[in-house]
Amino acid sequence: MIGSKYSTNKLITILASFYCFSHPNLAVLVSAAEECTHGMLYVSDAASSVISAFDLDQASLQDLPVVESIDTGMSEQWLYTNNIMNNVILTSVFRGTAASGYADGKVRFIHTGVSTESHGDHIHVEKSPFSFRDNGLITCARPIHYVPNDNKIAIFCDGNFGTSEEEQINSQIWVVDEELLATSTSANAIIHNSTLEGSHHGVAIPLSGDHVLHSLATDDRVNRTAGASSLPNTFQIIDLDGNPVHDIDDETDQNNSCLGFHGSAVAGNAFAFGCSSDHGGILVGQYVTGITKKAYLTEALLYPTAVSFDGHRTGNFADHPESSYIIGNFAGVNSFNLIAFQPSNLESNVMTESQIQVLDQRLCSYDFEKSEGEYVLTWLASGVLEVYKIEPTWSLVAEIPVMDGMTECSQAFMVSGYGQVFVIEPETQKIHAVSLGHLDHDHDMSIETTTLDFVPFSAVVAGVPEGASCHSEDDHDETSAGVNVTIRASASFLAMLSAVFLLAA
């Protein structure tokens, strides 16, 4: 029995897990073959400046131990990470205090310490302590929109309208080089910073060719007109020196503006903006080669004209670096839907019903599963998690009730992971870890729960290097090519493993 790969891997897992439990020092990784990682779950404390890190490669997702505590010196931290696979950076954002006019907002970047080491025909995943990357430290008023793309991270700081012109703080754009964050602690990683006229709730998106797309405040907002909306209508593309490259600024043209903008996404060098129902659609843009006068083309993907969709709009999106699709919500009064479209390959300039997935209850949030972007996760106000595929058409793959008696979205929030998803309850201080298992085979999902000793505020899964992510189909798959096991090493334990391999031979 012990001579089979299946039994050997299983025995190694059992022995390693036992040794981990009894020897809490000197962590290394041992694998029977190729390794992968589910990363780390980072959760910020609502009442302190501490972020707790949970290792998701443990044998069980129940009662996850805190393996690191990161004190950033900032409270009420919103956590983000880049979906680009070679990213190992955690981003912590403090939006500032009202008493200071939000001028004390701050963004800190943290290297997760997770990396890979090549061994020729396979890789090892290594986990070292975290380290701050304050070569990218940003201080600004109300940093809210975080957008990664093209190995860069853009932070848009809304600024503060204030009660007078003297109290106003203008919006700012910051662009940080991801590679410099990952490889250096001293070289300045900030490659662009500019201040915009007025303050508004806007966005900045890094594009290829060292370009940055950003929103512009409306004239009423700049002129401090009473009741002026904070949402922008027009945009500009600049280079990293601040020189204008392209304008998207004709408010009379659906194809060259986005009235009442809210929500953005990017897929390669194509982008999408959610516009108001009055504007009538989603603004989609992309860089097109071979055009001499205009490299950037934009057009409206119009909302469907059916009466049942009157007053609907898209206000937020989800994207994934390995998917050509962008997912968006499409909501009206007591009407909840998801849409899927390819911004670089629109079948029509009008959204079709085949692109729409109707939901039978309130949608709280949604996201791509992180590993391959194959699945779309939806979190519903009833406490049910649904998993969809979007190719070739929308299809429900699996669903599972996570929280009994849930009625409001404020009761819990969802965090997407690699072959896993987490539902976090602030009031009860619980984390429900859902293993996505073998979704295409038996639609299997399982739930394990951890109770926290603090009130969670925000969370994200990070720390997965390029080529090292565990996919949903690999989750706890004992028949796959390799086994990912975290062990605590000593000479005696390595000798024990050697004996196991001799028996297996």
CA distance 139 to 174: 10
Evaluate whether 203 touches 147 at the Cβ level (below 8 Å): yes
Poorest-confidence range of 28-32, 62-66, 83-87, 404-408?
28-32
Over residues 290-322, the pLDDT tens digits come to: 655 568 999 999 999 887 898 999 999 999 988
For residue 243, count CB atoms less than 10 angstroms from its CB and return exposed for 0-12, middle for 13-18, buried for 19 or more: exposed
One-letter identity of residue 54: F
- 51 Cα distance to chain centroid: 17
What's the token pair of residue 214? 């950003």
Distance from C-alpha of 384 to C-alpha of 394, rounded to nearest angstrom: 18
**Phi and psi for 17 in degrees, rounded to 5?**
-65, -40
Confidence of residue 381 (pLDDT cuts 50, 70, 90): very high
* Distances, alpha carbon 309 to alpha carbons 129, 297, 302, 346, 394, in Å: 51, 27, 12, 20, 19
Q: What are all long-range contacts of 238-247, with beta carbons under 8 Å and residues at least 24 apart?
A: 238/194, 238/211, 238/212, 238/214, 239/209, 239/210, 239/211, 239/212, 240/175, 240/191, 240/192, 240/210, 240/211, 240/212, 242/192, 242/194, 245/211, 245/295, 245/296, 246/294, 246/295, 246/296
pLDDT in the model for residue 183 = 86
**Residue 63 backbone dihedrals phi, psi, to 5 degrees:** 55, 55
pLDDT score of 86: 56
Which pLDDT score is estimated for 121? Answer: 77
pTM of the model: 0.85
pLDDT in tens, 442-475: 677 899 999 999 999 999 999 998 888 887 554 4
What is the rounded CA–CA span in Å between residue 18 and residue 493? Answer: 11
Please tell me the distance from the alpha carbon of residue 167 to that of residue 103, in angstroms, as a whole number: 10
Apex 230 CA angle, 224 and 232, nearest 5: 105
Tell me, what's the pLDDT at 116? 85
Name the percent of the chain lying above pLDDT 70.
Answer: 84
Domains of the chain: 34-480 (2.130.10.10)
Q: What is the mean pLDDT of residues 27-56?
A: 81
Nearest Cα neighbor of 230 from 212, 218, 243, 213 is: 218
pLDDT digits (tens, 9 = 90+) for 210-265: 999 999 999 999 999 999 999 999 999 999 999 999 999 999 999 999 999 999 99
Residue 392: is the preceding peptide bond cis (ω within 30°)? yes
pLDDT in the model for residue 85? 53
First-to-final CA distance of the chain: 11
Least confident piece of the model among 8-22, 103-117, 136-150: 8-22
Helix (H, G, I), strand (E, B) or coil at 281: strand
Task: Quickly state the pLDDT bin for 42 (edges 50, 70, 90).
Answer: very high
Average pLDDT, the chain: 85
Report CA torsion sign: 424, 425, 426, 430: negative
* CA-wise closest residue to 271 among 283, 254, 260: 283
Q: Using N-to-C axis directions, what is the helix angle for 491-504 and 5-22, rounded to 10°?
A: 170
Under the banding of pLDDT at 50, 70 and 90, the label for residue 347 is confident
